[in-house]
Amino acid sequence: MKNRLRIYICTFILQIILSIGILTSYIPAEEKVVLLGPGTSCITSSCHTDMGTKKYVHAIGVNAKLCNKCHAIIKEGEHRFKEIPPDVRPLCAQCHSEELPPPADIKGTPPKVISKDEEIKFHAPFAEGKCTECHDAHESDFYKHLKLQYPENFYASFSVEIYSLCYKCHKEMNETLTEPRTLTATRFRNGNLNLHVRHVNKEKGRTCRACHLHHGSKGPALMRETFPFGSRMLTIKYEKTDTGGSCGPACHTQARYDRYAPVYSPIKTSPRPGEDATEEELGLSRERDMQKENEEKNSKNLKTISHEGEKR
Ligand code: HEC
Ligand code: HEC
Ligand code: HEC
Ligand code: HEC
Ligand code: HEC
C-alpha cells in the first residue's frame, strides 16, 4: 500500500516538472548573439581557450585567424556561422584537391588527396565526403589527427584497440582480426584459414596499410597496387578471382587463396593454428556464400527497379 502511494506521488511530481518544461520551451528565448569586433581573435583567454593543445594538430584548424576557411560567418561582426554540411569535401578541397592550388595565405604544403581520377574506387565514407568521421578538422591525440586510434607504422603489435578507427564502422569485423579459423568472418581466407589474422594479428603484425589504401584505390577491396617499404616501392600484384585471389611476389612468392578449395603454397610460415575444414564443411560454406551473394544481388536489383519506378 505504502509503495503504491509513493509511486503515485512520484508520477504526480514528474508530471508537474514535465509540464513546466514543455510550457517554458514555448516562451521564445531572447537570442543572445556574441558580437565580434574587427580583427577579434577566435582563441583568447575566454574563448576556445584549449584549442591547439592536443598531440596532433591540423595547423589550419587551430589558427585563430583562419577559422573562417571552414566556418563561414553569416553576418559580419556576429558570432553566428553557417552550418557545416554533411559532405565536407568542398571545405577540405580548398587545400587538399589535386585540381586547386592551395590558398596563398596559408603556410605549409597540404597533401593532395582529393582526386577526380575516375579509375579510383573510393572508400565509401571518403566518397560521401565524411572526412570528419575519421579526421578531426582541428586536432586530436591520434596520428594524422584521426578521431580514434589507428597505428602509425607498417608493423604493429596487435590489439583490437589500435584499430578502433576501423571498428567504428566495420562492426561486421567481429572475428575478422581475431578468429584464426573461420568459414564466415572474412573473404580473405584459404579454406577456413583466416588470412587477415595470419597477417595482422601478431607481435609484429602488418597494419591494414600494408595491403589497403584508406581513401581509395584502383584495385578491388581498396587493395593497393604498390606499397612503400623502407625507401622502396614494392608491387603487390593482387588479383581477385570469384572464389579467392592471389598476391606476390613482393613479400613472399606468388601465393593463392581459395575459400572452398584451399591451396597451400610452400611458403615458410609459422605453424597453422586449429584444424582445416572438411570437404563437407567447405561445400556447405560455399552454398551459404552463394545464397548470401544472390540475396544481395536481388536486393540491389529490387532497389534499381524501384528507383526506375520513381523516375517514371
Ligand atoms: C578545415 C576546416 C575547419 C577549420 C579551419 C576550423 N574548423 Fe571548426 N569545425 C570544422 C568541422 C568540419 C566541424 C564539425 C564537427 C566535425 O565534423 O567534427 C567543426 C566544428 C567546430 C565547433 C563545434 C564543436 C565541435 O567540435 O563539434 C567549434 C566550436 C569549432 N569548430 C571551432 C573552430 C575554431 C575556433 C576554429 C579556428 C581556430 C575552427 N573551428 C577552424 C571544420 C573546421
Ligand atoms: C586552408 C587550407 C586547408 C584546409 C581547408 C584543410 N586543410 Fe588539411 N592541411 C592543410 C595544410 C597546410 C596541411 C599540412 C600540415 C599542417 O600544416 O598541418 C594539412 C594537413 C592535413 C592532414 C595531414 C596531417 C599530418 O599530420 O600530416 C590531414 C589528415 C588533413 N589536413 C585533413 C584535412 C581535412 C579532413 C580537411 C577538411 C575538413 C582539411 N584538412 C582542410 C591545409 C588545409
Ligand atoms: C576511413 C577513414 C578515413 C576517411 C573517411 C578519410 N580519411 Fe584521410 N586518412 C585516413 C588515414 C588512416 C590516414 C593515414 C594514412 C597513412 O598514413 O597511411 C589518412 C591520411 C590523410 C591525409 C594525409 C595524407 C598524407 O600523405 O600525409 C589527408 C590530407 C587526409 N587524410 C585527408 C582526408 C580528406 C580530405 C578526407 C575526406 C574527403 C579524408 N581524409 C577521409 C583515414 C581516413
Ligand atoms: C565512417 C565509416 C567507416 C570507417 C571509419 C571505415 N570504413 Fe571501411 N568501409 C565503410 C563502408 C560503408 C564500406 C562499404 C561497405 C560495403 O560496400 O559493403 C567500407 C568498405 C571497406 C573496404 C572494402 C570492402 C570491399 O569488399 O570492397 C575495406 C577494405 C575497408 N572498408 C577497410 C577499412 C579500414 C582499413 C578502415 C580503418 C582505417 C576502415 N575501413 C574504416 C565504412 C567505414
Ligand atoms: C595481407 C594483406 C591484408 C592486410 C594486412 C589487411 N587486409 Fe583486409 N583484405 C585483404 C584482401 C586481399 C581482401 C579481399 C578479400 C576477397 O575479397 O577475396 C580484404 C578485405 C577486407 C575487407 C572486406 C571484408 C572481408 O573481410 O572480406 C575489410 C573490411 C578489410 N579487408 C579490412 C581490413 C582491416 C581493418 C585491416 C587492418 C586491421 C586489413 N583489412 C588488413 C588483404 C589484407
Q: Are residues 189 and 250 in the same domain?
A: yes
pLDDT tens column, 35-73? 888 888 899 999 999 999 999 999 999 999 999 999 999
Element spanning 284, H or E: helix 279-311
Measured from the CA of 223, which atom of ligand 4 is nearest? 29
Provide the domain count of the chain.
Answer: 2
In terms of domains, do 273 and 208 share one? yes
Domain that holds residue 239: 174-283
Q: How far apart are CA 138 and CA 67, in angstroms?
A: 10
Looking from the CA of 213 toward its CB, the CA atoms found within 13 Å total 21
User: What contacts 16, CB < 8 A, 6 or more positions away?
Assistant: none
**Reported pTM:** 0.91
- pLDDT for residue 86 is more than 80: yes
Give me ligand 2 centre to Cα 110, in Å.
Answer: 6
What pLDDT does 174 receive? 85
Domain shared by 276 and 232, yes or no = yes
In a domain, 182, yes or no: yes
Query: What backbone phi and psi angles, to 5 degrees, belong to 190?
Result: -110, 105
Residue 60 lies in a domain: yes
* Residue 97 counted as domain residue: yes
Site to probe by mutation for ligand 4, drawn from 150, 163, 166 as the one with most ligand atoms within 8 Å of Cβ, is: 166
Q: Are residues 277 and 182 in the same domain?
A: yes
Tell me, yes or no, whether 123 and 70 share the same domain: yes
Of 262, 148, 277, 271, the closest CA to residue 202 belongs to 271
Phi and psi torsions of 76, nearest 5°: -45, 130
Q: Is the pLDDT of residue 156 over 60?
A: yes
pLDDT the model gives residue 16 = 52
Looking at the DSSP assignment, which residues form a beta bridge with residue 289?
none
Provide mean pLDDT across the span 89-98: 96
**279-301: pLDDT as tens digits:** 999 999 999 999 999 999 999 88
268 and 192, same structural domain? yes
CA angle (56, 207, 176) in 5-degree steps: 120
Specify if 64 maps to a domain: yes
Res 248: pLDDT: 84
Q: Using alpha carbons only, how large is the chain's radius of gyration in Å? A: 27
pLDDT(110) > 80: yes
Q: Are residues 278 and 182 in the same domain?
A: yes
Q: With bands split at pLDDT 50, 70 and 90, how would you rate the model's confidence at 15?
A: low
Beta bridge partner(s), residue 181: 193
pLDDT for 143 beyond 60:
yes
Q: How far is residue 193's CA from residue 195's CA, in Å, rounded to a whole number? A: 6
What is the pLDDT averaged over residues 268-275? 86
List all residues whose CB is within 6 A of at least one atom of ligand 2: 58-60, 69-70, 88, 91-92, 94-96, 102-103, 106, 108, 110-111, 131-132, 135, 137, 144-145
The mean pLDDT of the chain is 89
Judgement on whether residues 236 and 197 belong to the same structural domain of the protein: yes
Q: What is the grid cell recorded at 268?
A: 615458410
Shared-domain flag, residues 136 and 182 = no
pLDDT band per the 50, 70, 90 thresholds, residue 13: low
Q: Which residue has the higher pLDDT, 65 or 20?
A: 65
Q: Which run of H or E residues covers position 218?
A: none
Half-sphere exposure of 258 (CA within 13 A, CB side): 11
Omega before 249 cis (within 30°)?
yes
Mean pLDDT of 173-202: 96
Same domain flag for 180 and 278? yes
User: Which pLDDT score, from 0 to 100, does residue 301 have?
Assistant: 86
The neighbouring-strand residues paired with 234 are 227
**237 within domain boundaries:** yes
Confidence check: pLDDT of 312 > 50: no
pLDDT exceeds 70 at position 309: no
Beta bridge partners of 271: none
The answer on pLDDT for 30 being more than 60 is: no
- Of 58, 89, 107, the one to substitute when testing ligand 2's pocket (max ligand atoms within 8 A of C-beta) is 58
- Alpha carbon distance, N-terminus to C-terminus of the chain: 65
Domain boundary among 92, 125, 145: 145
pLDDT of res. 17: 53
> What are the pLDDT digits (tens) for 203-239?
999 999 999 999 999 999 999 999 888 888 989 999 9
Distance CA 70, CA 218 (A): 30
CB 282 within 8 A of CB 191: yes
Report yes or no on 130 lying in a domain. Answer: yes
Same domain flag for 191 and 268: yes
Integer angstrom CA distances of residue 205 from 66, 69, 114, 259: 40, 40, 29, 22
Does the pLDDT of residue 23 top 50, yes or no? Answer: no
**Confidence band (pLDDT; 50, 70, 90) for 305?**
confident
Q: Is 125 exposed, middle or buried (0-12, 13-18, 19+ CB in 10 A)?
A: middle
Supply the pLDDT for residue 293: 92
Question: What band does 79 get if pLDDT is binned at 50, 70 and 90?
Answer: very high
Residues 205 and 257 in one domain: yes
Q: Which residue has the cell 565526403?
A: 129
| Whether 163 contacts 219, CB under 8 Å | no
Please report whether residue 9 resides in a domain: no
In a domain, 80, yes or no: yes
